[in-house]
Amino acid sequence: MTNNMTTAEYIALEDRYGAHNYHPLDVVLTRGEGCWVWDVEGNKYLDCLAAYSAVNQGHCHPALVKVLTEQVCRMALTSRAFRNDQLGLFYKELCELTGYAKVLPMNTGAEAVETAIKAARKWAYKVKKVPEGQAEILVFDNNFHGRTTTIVGFSSEEQYRDGFGPFTPGFKILPYGDADAVAKAMNPNVAAVMVEPIQGEGGIIIPPSGFLKALRQLTKKHNALLVADEIQAGLGRTGKLFSFEHEDIRPDIVIIGKALSGGLYPVSAILADDEVMGVFHPGDHGSTYGGNPVAAAVARAAIRVIVEEKMVENSAELGAYALKRLKSIDAPHVKEVRGRGLWIGIELHPHAGGARRYCEALQREGILCKETHTHVIRLAPPLNITPEDLDWALERLIRVLTTLTPLEAAAPKPKKGLRRLLGALGR
Ligand SMILES: *Cc1c(COP(=O)(O)O)cnc(C)c1O
C-alpha cells in the first residue's frame, strides 16, 4: 500500500487538506520496528520521542501486533452493552500489576483525565459531603492534562485556552512544586489535588523533592483525593512503574494511557480503590469503545511485555547512564540537563535560538525528537532500546549540542511562504 510519492507531496497534501493544528518535523514516516523508523525516502532514524511515550515498548512490538491482529479477526467491538472475554482479564492483570482494586477503561488520555475529574467530584459530593456544585480541584501551573474544553480551561498555557472559552469552573491553579501554596488553598470543598509527578509537556520538570509526599500528607489531612496523571510518566518511563514511586507515595486515583497499548491502539484508564470507584453506578459514565476487546487484549500484552522484558529496569539503568553522559558535556548554550529514567530534558539558553533547530539538526543525523516548551529537547526513546543504540544516539546528540553554535540561529532561512512554495514544488 505504498504510494510512490515524495516527502514534499505528502506534506503538501497534509497542508492542503488537513487542519493546521500541529507543526510536525518535515519527515514522513512509513515503517517502524523497535526503536527505529523509516521515512518514505528510505532514510532510517532512531525514534527518541516514542510518540510521547505511547511507544515505550518499541514500534510494532511483535507480541502486541500478534495479539492485536488475532483479536481484530476474532472480535473487535461488543460495546459495553454486552460483556467480552478480554475485559475481565485486563482488569485483573492491571490490578495485580499496580496494586489498585479497580479499573475504569477509556480510550484517550484526555478521556481518562475527564473520568478522574468526574470520579473526584462525585466522591466529594457522595462520600465527603461537599455541598452540591461547590467541589474544587487543585491543579498546577505548567500542567498538561489533555485538550478537552474542561481540561484546557485549567491550563496555564495561553495558547491552549485562547478562543475556546467559556470554561468549566471548579479548578484552582497553584504554582507547581509549592506545597505551602497547596496548604493555603486547602478548604473543606477541595475534592482533589491533581498532579503530574513529573511534568512532561511542561519540559520534563521534576518538582522539588518532598513535594509529592507533602501533597499526600495534605490531601490525607484535609480528606481530599490525590490524583496522579501518569499518562506520560507512567508504565516505566522514569525507571519505576509509576513516577510517584520515586517519592514512595500512593495516590488515590492514577490516570494512565499512552504506553498502556504500546502505541497500537488508544487505551486509557483510571485506577482506584473501592471507596472511589464505588461512586460509579450503571449509567453514570461510559464510552462506546472504552474497554473493547481489542483494547483489552492489546493492553494485556502491552503490560505483560513491559514486565517480561524488564523495560522498567532498562529505563532506570540506561537512563541513569545517558543522564550522566549528557550532564558532563561542555556546551555553553545548554542551561540544564535533567531527567528520570529514559526521560531526559535538555534545556537550552534562549540565545541558542530555540530547541527546534537542534531537533532539525538531529533529524539530519538520523535521530527524531521534538522540542517542548520552545527551549527544551525531550529525549524519550522506547524503553527496550539497547545500550549500543543508545550510545549511537548519544554520540550524535553530543556532537550536535557541541557543534551547532547558537550563532547559526541568525543564519538566513527562506521565509515561511517561500519554504512552503519550495516544499510544494518538491524542492
Ligand atoms: C498525553 C497526555 C495527556 C492526554 O492524552 P491524550 O491521549 O493525548 O488525550 C494527558 N496527560 C498527560 C500527562 C499527557 O502526557
CA–CA gap between residue 152 and residue 260 (Å, rounded): 23
Strands of the 376-379 sheet, one edge to the other: 334-339, 344-348, 376-379, 370-372
Same-domain pairing of 296 and 318: no
In a domain, 294, yes or no: yes
The answer to whether residue 370 is catalytic is no
Same-domain pairing of 128 and 265: yes
In a domain, 244, yes or no: yes
Give residues with Cβ within 8 angstroms of 60, minimum separation 6.
Answer: 32, 33, 34
Can you tell me the mean pLDDT for 51-68? Answer: 98
Beta strands 344-348 and 376-379: pairing type?
antiparallel
The conformation of residue 349, written as its DSSP 8-state character, comes to P
Q: How distant, in Å, are the alpha carbons of 40, 131, 158, 169, 316 from that of 134?
A: 54, 6, 26, 10, 42
What cell was used for 406?
A: 547558537
What is the sign of the dihedral through the CA atoms of 80, 81, 84 and 88?
A: positive
179-210 pLDDT, tens digit each = 999 999 999 999 999 999 999 999 999 999 99
In a domain, 1, yes or no: no
CA–CA gap between residue 408 and residue 343 (Å, rounded): 27
In a domain, 259, yes or no: yes
Give residues with Cβ within 8 angstroms of 260, minimum separation 6.
Answer: 235, 267, 268, 269, 299, 302, 303
Q: How confident is the model at residue 87 (pLDDT cuts 50, 70, 90)?
A: very high
Check pLDDT > 70 for residue 211. Answer: yes
pLDDT for the residue numbered 4: 85
Q: Is 265 in the pocket of ligand 1 (CB under 6 A)?
A: no
Q: Which atom in ligand 1 lies closest to the alpha carbon of residue 255?
A: 11
Number of structural domains found in the chain: 2
Same-domain pairing of 302 and 323: no
304-324 pLDDT, tens digit each = 999 999 999 999 999 999 999
The answer to whether residue 258 is catalytic is yes
Same-domain pairing of 114 and 30: no
Nearest-5° Cα angle at 71, 267 to 2: 85
- Model-level pTM? 0.94
Is 127:272 a contact under the CB 8 Å cutoff? no
pLDDT for the residue numbered 409: 47
Domain boundary among 275, 308, 341: 308
Question: Domain range for residue 268?
Answer: 62-308
Same-domain pairing of 231 and 349: no
Same-domain pairing of 272 and 371: no
Annotate 118-131 with three-state secondary structure. HHHHHHHHHHHCCC
Ligand 1 centroid, distance to 423 Cα (angstroms)? 31
CA–CA gap between residue 300 and residue 105 (Å, rounded): 12
CA–CA gap between residue 367 and residue 36 (Å, rounded): 9
pLDDT for the residue numbered 3: 76
Ligand 1 centroid, distance to 232 Cα (angstroms)? 7
In a domain, 324, yes or no: yes
Same-domain pairing of 316 and 414: yes
pLDDT for the residue numbered 1: 56
Question: Mean pLDDT of all residues in the chain?
Answer: 94
Q: Which residues of 203-225 are buried (b: 16+ CB within 10 A; e: fewer)?
A: bbbbbeeebbebbbebbeebebb
Is 259:285 a contact under the CB 8 Å cutoff? no
Check pLDDT > 90 for residue 129. Answer: yes
H or E element: which one contains 65? helix 62-74
Share of the chain above pLDDT 90, in %: 91
In a domain, 2, yes or no: no
Q: Choose one of 258, 265, 378 to mutate for the ligand 1 pocket test, by most ligand atoms within 8 angstroms of C-beta.
A: 258
Q: Which atom in ligand 1 lies closest to the alpha carbon of residue 146?
A: 4
Alpha helices in 201-310 (DSSP H): 211-221, 274-277, 293-308
Identified catalytic residue from 229, 244, 252, 370: 229
Domain boundary among 308, 337, 364: 308
Residue bearing the CA closest to ligand 1, atom 5: 109
Which of these, 320, 326, 367, lies nearest to 348 by C-alpha position?
A: 326
**Which residue type is seen at 414?**
P
Annotate 234-260 with three-state secondary structure. CCCCCCCCCHHHHHCCCCCEEEECHHH
364-423 pLDDT, tens digit each = 999 999 998 889 999 999 999 999 999 999 999 999 999 887 755 444 454 455 455 444
Can you tell me the mean pLDDT for 221-245? Answer: 98
Domain boundary among 257, 288, 308: 308
DSSP secondary structure of 6-34: -HHHHHHHHHHHS-------S--EEEEEB
Strands of the 367-368 sheet, one edge to the other: 29-33, 36-39, 44-47, 367-368
**Which residue type is seen at 66?**
K
Same-domain pairing of 285 and 339: no
pLDDT for the residue numbered 330: 86
pLDDT for the residue numbered 412: 47
Same-domain pairing of 79 and 50: no
Same-domain pairing of 342 and 287: no
Ligand 1 centroid, distance to 127 Cα (angstroms)? 28
Same-domain pairing of 111 and 233: yes
In a domain, 214, yes or no: yes
Q: What are phi and psi of 33, to 5 degrees?
A: -150, 115
135-168 pLDDT, tens digit each = 999 999 999 999 999 999 999 999 999 999 999 9
In a domain, 123, yes or no: yes
Same-domain pairing of 267 and 201: yes
CATH of the domain at 26: 3.90.1150.10
Check pLDDT > 50 for residue 104. Answer: yes
CATH of the domain at 227: 3.40.640.10
What cell was used for 278?
A: 464505588
Identified catalytic residue from 39, 122, 242, 258: 258
